[in-house]
Structure 1
Amino acid sequence: MNASGPARRWHRLTLRGRLILIGSVGVAAGLALGGLILVRTLEFTLQRSLDEGAVGTARDVAALAHAGRLSDPIPVGGGVSFVQVVDGQGRVTAASAGADRLVPALRPGDLTAARGGARLTVDGEQLGITGAVRVVGEPLPGGRTVLVAVSERGMAESISVVKGTLLVAFPILVGLLAAVAWRVVGWTLAPVEALRRGAAEITGASSARRLPVPPGNDEVHRLAVTLNDMLARLESTRGRQRAFVADAAHELRSPLASMRTQLEVAVRLDAAATATDTAPGSGPPAELLTDLLTDVNRLADLTNDLLLLARADEGALHRGTDQVDVAALAKEVAGRYAGARVPVRVDAPEARWVCGTPGALRQLIGNLADNAVRHAAGEVRVAVEDSGEGVLLTVTDDGPGVAPADRERVFDRFTRLDDARARDDGGSGLGLAIVRELARLHGGTVTLADAGPGVRAEVRLPAADRP
């Protein structure tokens, strides 16, 4: 037989069946062991009681012999098969009624052992008794010995009755316990089955449903709560992905539509110039191509931002181990805004070192500066200082500010507030989301605070040793 057959049959069983089978086998083994101990204990107790009765009779007969009042036949009480008095030559000198008066109950070797106090079990056929016989001896003066024989038939019948009762009762008891356990285990596993049915009913269209939570505070209850929390997280992630895809498609559609329109205009103008013998490529198409290049650059930036966020979601962004001077990076980034709409001033008198990737930190500062320049009224201030627990980078503008209720929401992807929803301001709604991901990558945090007027972005990063 294939050795894997029992294993396959075992795995075909339900969990309920496995538990009942294991429990039934355990109960049967326990009952068998208990029954064996019970029978052995009963046998030992009855044997000892039988021996004590036989020894008591032998001592009574010996007392009569010592007193010179031993009669022949020897009187015996109930339960004793017969009594013999044997001399040193192995001859029977006295016996109870019905006992053999010619042949002693024990052979010479056994007789010597009995005189020494041994308790022997012999075949009753040699004594004319059915079944085994227990024989004990009690020495008398002059080398004589009192032999008392007691039949073990009653003890054997009692033990046989107990064994038969156990052989009948134990299977019935195991069967009853298995039936009760089947109901109890089924009742216990009912919440698990309810979880399974609930999970089977959850589909893509009904993913907002939750699994039933059984009452109590047991393992199944905690499992249901954990699974519902997992479903909530998955639903939230799925919602963010749907919103992300929808917003990304919307953002990509605008520059693509603009590019298509400008290309169609350029083709028509070039065709018109050809029809009027005007040199192709002159006039308005050059301006359209400049606008087209702007849209292409915007599309490229948006694609790069989407790729960075996708890598962040997959955990594919890795923090560098370089020691970077954030103050120097702030001054470098501020230099790009020399011709900006508002001036960008930097307050970073001392070097502040962090451990990370220069390009990622440069993008973090640049995104904050872009956002501040876009909304500032008069100027933007960038400061780098020691916060006591690390490095504090702040970017402050004097624009309209952000309401407290929106200061966390603006870090969501493609989020624009009402005063910043214009599509021609260069923003895609991903800048602050990227800032938060890059701050997390470097073990830091980013928050918004009131600058009165305006808003101040605060980035806290763990400090590194000076190189």
Structure 2
Amino acid sequence: ASTGASRAVPLLSPAEVDRAVDGDEAVLVEGDRVGYGDRLRVLVRRTDRGPVVLAATSVTAVDDPLRLVRAALLVGLPLLLLASTAGVWLTVGRTLRPVEQLRAGAEAVTAADPSRRLPVPAAEDEVRRLAETLNGMLDRLEAGGARQRAFVADAAHELRSPLAALRTVLEVALVHPDPEGPEPTLRTASEEVLRMARLVDDLLLLARLDAGASPARGAGRAQRVDLAEVVRELVPDGVVLHLSPAPVVADPDALVRVVRNLVDNAVRHAASTVTVTVSAGEHVELLVDDDGPGIPEQERSRVFDRFHRLDSPRTRDAGGTGLGLAIVRELVAVAGGTVGVEESPAGGARLRVQLPPAPG
């Protein structure tokens, strides 16, 4: 056990050896029985051949490192926790700083200044993608707001025109009564009222379509309809027809409005001839051709905008509201189709509507 211990005195008695072997665990004994000043931890093992092997070590040699480790933990652990807390606080603060910048930027975006955008962090991470997505949403909202303001301004202008004409007619009739009677004045006033009523009806229809509602109050659900029959019943005399059976699944009222608006538009601008063609194939196709001045290629993508006017001889006359083709685009989109404009073989404009065919 030690160079200073007595080698003549046994460390354990035979009975203690037997108990230690049977118990298979270390035995604590006082070191003074062998002249050692500290308690000893003794381990006893019996070999296969019989001799007993004793190994002893000082308890102090084992306890001192444990006390040292305990003291280090008592002092170091709080310091480690404090350092870890500070590190986590700094890391979280640095991580959330871009989020706070986004919050401050979002707070700065107001209706008075819709052009402001959120700051985009330099790091290529989720926060940057979130900022870019939100800025894209703000772009769309600003564009939608601009379109809405322009639409309201155009609608007010268009409503003001028939109101001003009606007011003028009535004021003139009051100051200078027509010797032939009130019928001419009433006829003119009625025409302006009807024009204003058509404009209001078109505005209400577009508002319902924008809100995702049915094109007309009380309109039925989509059903199987032969587009050729709809055209045959609606077009006026003098329009050239080329019709083939073309069943589609759509709201009948919406189809009637689409055909009427397209044909009315073509009749107003045609020089002499309007041709309507309906055919069925991969798509059900409705073609409306006129031989008027046509639509310039650079204007074809905008001709379906609300209140859009062309800087050409093909301008909106007094018979239209400036919303007919915009309504056509919305109704065709609701039916799952597309509408476009191209040059007609007759020299004017061709409006092409494609709709999904009815199944079966």
Give a deviation string over 1:229-273, Cα, whole Å, max 9, x none: 00100001001100111011111111122222333344456xx69
- When structure 1 is superposed on structure 2, of 211-220 and 449-458 the one drifting more is 211-220
From the superposition, tell whether residues 358 and 82 of structure 1 become closer, same or farther in structure 2 (CA, over 3 Å). Answer: farther
Query: What per-residue deviation string (whole Å, max 9, x for no partner) do you get for residues 34-55 of structure 1?
Result: xxxxxxxxxxxxxxxxxxxxxx
Could you say what secondary structure the match of 2:245 adopts? coil
Distance 2:38 2:305 in 1: 96
- Distance 1:130-1:298 versus aligned 2 partners, 3 A rule: farther
Distance, in Å, in 2 between the alignment partners of 1:443 and 1:204 is: 35
The CA deviation at 1:346 is 1.2
Shift of 1:418: 2.3
Q: What is the number of equivalent residue pairs in this alignment? A: 352
- 2:19 equivalent to 1:113: yes
**Taking every aligned residue pair, what percent have the same amino acid on both sides?**
45
- Could you give the per-residue CA deviations for residues 339-361 of structure 1, whole angstroms, max 9, x where no partner exists? xxxx311110x211000111100
Matched, 1:396 2:289: yes
Determine if contact 2:43/2:56 at 8 Å carries over to the other structure. yes
CA distance in 1, matches of 2:153, 2:357: 39
8 Å contact kept, 1:317–1:441: no
d(CA) in 2 for partners of 1:361 and 1:81?
Answer: 114
Bigger drift between 159-168 and 412-421 goes to 412-421
Match of residue 134, structure 2, among 202, 205, 227: 227
**Residue 218 (str. 1) matches residue 115 (str. 2):** no
Of 175, 178, 183, the match for 1:286: 183
Aligned counterpart for 1:179 among listed residues 77, 86, 107: 86
TM-score (norm 1): 0.68
Q: Pairwise mapping of residues 23-422 of structure 1 onto structure 2 (< 5 A)?
A: 76-77=1-2, 95=9, 111-116=17-22, 118-122=24-28, 133-137=40-44, 149-268=56-175, 283-317=180-214, 320-334=221-235, 337-338=236-237, 343-348=238-243, 350-386=244-280, 388-419=281-312
Distance 1:188 1:196 in 2: 14
- The equivalent position to 2:334 in structure 1, one of 429, 441, 454, is 441
What is the TM-score with the length of structure 2 in the denominator? 0.87
Q: 1:422 Cα shift?
A: 6.6
Aligned counterparts of 1:81 and 1:203: Cα–Cα separation in 2:
91
Unaligned runs of 5+ in 1: 1-75, 84-93, 274-281
Unaligned runs of 5+ in 2: none
- Deviation readout 1:11-34 (Å, 9 max, x if unpaired): xxxxxxxxxxxxxxxxxxxxxxxx
Q: Which one-letter code corresponds to 2:356 in the other structure?
A: P
Q: What amino acid is aligned across from residue 445 of structure 1 in structure 2? A: T
| Rg comparison, structure with higher value | 1
User: Helix, strand or coil: the match of 2:135?
Assistant: helix
Conservation of the 8 A alpha-carbon contact between 2:293 and 2:314: no
> 2:319 aligns to what?
426
3-state SS of paired residue (2:26): strand
Q: Larger % of helix: which?
A: 1
Question: In the alignment, residue 332 of structure 1 is paired with which amino acid?
Answer: E
Query: What is the root-mean-square deviation of aligned Cα atoms in Å?
Result: 3.0
Q: Alpha-carbon deviations, 1:59-115, whole Å to 9, x = none?
A: xxxxxxxxxxxxxxxxx435x9777xxxxxxxxxx516xx6xxxx569x5x653324
- Return the alpha-carbon distance in structure 1 between the equivalents of residues 259 and 118 of structure 2: 45
**Equivalent position amino acid for 1:134 in 2:** R
Question: What's the offset of the Cα at 1:374?
Answer: 0.9
CA distance in 1, matches of 2:32, 2:201: 109
